[in-house]
Amino acid sequence: MIHQKKSMDKKTLFRNILITTLILGFTTAGSFAFFRFTSNAENIAVFYMLAVVFIARFTTGYVPGIIASLISVICVNFAFTYPFFSLTFSVDGYPITFAALMIIASLTSMTTTHLKEKNRILNEQEKLLMEAEKEKMRANLLRAVSHDLRTPLTSIIGTSSAYLDSGSSLTEEERRSMVQTIYDDSNWLLHMVENLLSVTRIRQTDAHVSTTLEPVEEVVSEAVSRLKKRLPDARIRVSTPEDFIMAPMDATLIEQVIINLLENGIYHSGSDAPMELTVTAEQKNAVFRIRDHGHGIREDLLPNIFDGYADTATSSGDSRKGMGIGLSICKTIIMAHDGDIWAENLPDGALFTFTLPLGEETYES
């Protein structure tokens, strides 16, 4: 490890020397060409000050910029100040001029280097915050999985055990009700597995997904069709723009988000009114709005509803099915698409909104 650090130091030193030499070399050559054609030496100092700024920008540490400042002052004095090709600081006004040039160049170098270092620190802090957010989402997802998967499994085991123990003494209606319960909970488990498989499609290295330009209307249509296969009685009103909108996305994952949000509204809104799915194009974003006409979301759940655990037992007729894991996965998917997602209450229901950045190409139908 120590040897590797020394090797990196030598590499950085060589890089600093190379960059400083090249920039000062090009600046000197350009200054000679400028002086030869214009005979104007007054602007040469500006060229060297720009060189110092570039050196400070593309090298590591303060030293290269300070050394470049000193070399620049010497070059201006030696090559572009009368008498030419001799160092002299005795002429009236020269000491003050060159001292000022040295101070300005050094301050410029240090300021540039400081800003670059500050920017590097801010970038590292941002990466740490993103990593902390990813860890928080993983923890919330695990908590949601343990809750949302354990509940239907317990129901399946309990119902099937009761059926096996008392099946012969049950009426046909009771047996059918038990089998229906097992079927519903098994279907719910399958839906949860689909959600978890969706998350595995997201690259864990940078929490982003591979996207392709997809027609928004077709993705919405496919999502509604998939949901109808699971819930044939679901009523959904869909509204999409007349323009043919393309957005970069992983179509399967976005379909899963739409299905999760629609299904949550159907199960938890407490209303038989049709769900509404509206898509619009606004400010270079495709905006998806999914609303119900039920009792809304409990105010204590609203701020953290996408964090992975949302127990709706007191506000839903089906307490076996929480919203936690589905909404947590929705947030994970949308963030991986560089979009945004939020929820709000309306006077007659709840509204879930998520956005996706639009592609550069948009076609009219």
Secondary structure (DSSP) of 92-120: TTHHHHHHHHHHHHHHHHHHHHHHHHHHH
Do 324 and 206 lie in one domain? The reply is yes
Given a contact cutoff of 8 angstroms between Cβ atoms, the answer to whether 89 and 77 are in contact is: yes
Closest C-alpha among 352, 342, 239, 341 to residue 291: 352
Assigned domain for 135 exists: no
Do 219 and 307 lie in one domain? The reply is yes
Do 217 and 339 lie in one domain? The reply is yes
Whether the pLDDT of residue 267 is over 50: the answer is yes
Edge to edge, the sheet with strand 285-291 lists 236-239, 275-282, 285-291, 349-357, 340-346
Closest C-alpha among 51, 50, 47, 43 to residue 24: 51
Model pTM score = 0.55
Assigned domain for 154 exists: no
Which runs of E-coded beta strand occur in the chain? 212-215, 236-239, 246-249, 275-282, 285-291, 340-346, 349-357
pLDDT of 5 reads: 46
Whether the pLDDT of residue 207 is over 70: the answer is no
Do 208 and 308 lie in one domain? The reply is yes
pLDDT digits (tens, 9 = 90+) for 280-327: 999 889 999 999 999 988 888 888 888 765 554 434 334 445 555 778
Confidence at 221, pLDDT banded by 50, 70, 90: very high
Closest C-alpha among 64, 90, 65 to residue 77: 90
Do 210 and 120 lie in one domain? The reply is no
pLDDT digits (tens, 9 = 90+) for 70-97: 888 788 878 887 777 777 766 555 667 6
Whether the pLDDT of residue 143 is over 70: the answer is no
pLDDT of 327 reads: 85
For the segment 251-266, the average pLDDT, to the nearest whole number, is: 90
Assigned domain for 112 exists: yes
Q: Cis bond leading into 83, ω under 30°? A: yes
Structure tokens at 192: 């949860």
Of 61, 92, 127, which residue constitutes the final position of a domain?
127
For the segment 201-221, the average pLDDT, to the nearest whole number, is: 77
For the segment 253-272, the average pLDDT, to the nearest whole number, is: 89
Compute φ and ψ for 133, nearest 5 degrees: -65, -40
Domain around 249: 201-357
Do 116 and 7 lie in one domain? The reply is yes
For residue 202, what are the contacts with CB-CB under 8 A and spacing of at least 6? Answer: 208, 209, 253, 332, 333, 336
pLDDT of 9 reads: 75
Place of tokens 């030869």: 36
Do 211 and 296 lie in one domain? The reply is yes
Assigned domain for 175 exists: no
pLDDT of 4 reads: 43
Do 214 and 348 lie in one domain? The reply is yes
Assigned domain for 165 exists: no
Do 115 and 207 lie in one domain? The reply is no
Helices 94-166 and 44-58, packing angle to 10 deg: 30
Of 79, 94, 127, which residue constitutes the final position of a domain?
127
Assigned domain for 352 exists: yes
> Other CB atoms closer than 10 Å to residue 358's CB: what's the count?
20
Whether the pLDDT of residue 2 is over 50: the answer is no
Secondary structure (DSSP) of 172-216: HHHHHHHHHHHHHHHHHHHHHHHHHHHHHTS-TTTS----EEEEH
pLDDT digits (tens, 9 = 90+) for 4-14: 444 457 888 88
Do 224 and 108 lie in one domain? The reply is no
pLDDT digits (tens, 9 = 90+) for 148-173: 677 778 888 988 988 888 877 888 88
pLDDT of 365 reads: 40
Residue 253's CATH number: 3.30.565.10
State the Cα–Cα distance between residues 199 and 193, nearest whole angstrom: 10
Q: For residue 82, give Cα distances in angstroms to 95, 102, 193, 243, 262.
A: 14, 19, 82, 71, 81
Of 22-36, 119-133, 145-159, 197-211, the poorest mean pLDDT is in 197-211
Whether the pLDDT of residue 197 is over 60: the answer is yes
Tell me which range, 190-199, 313-322, 342-351, is most confidently predicted by mean pLDDT: 342-351
Of 127, 154, 177, which residue constitutes the final position of a domain?
127
pLDDT of 353 reads: 96
Structural domains in the chain (count): 2
Do 211 and 341 lie in one domain? The reply is yes
> Other CB atoms closer than 10 Å to residue 114's CB: what's the count?
12
Whether the pLDDT of residue 216 is over 60: the answer is yes
For the segment 109-121, the average pLDDT, to the nearest whole number, is: 80
For residue 65, what are the contacts with CB-CB under 8 A and spacing of at least 6? Answer: 52, 55, 56, 59, 106, 108, 109, 110, 112, 113
Do 208 and 292 lie in one domain? The reply is yes
pLDDT of 314 reads: 38
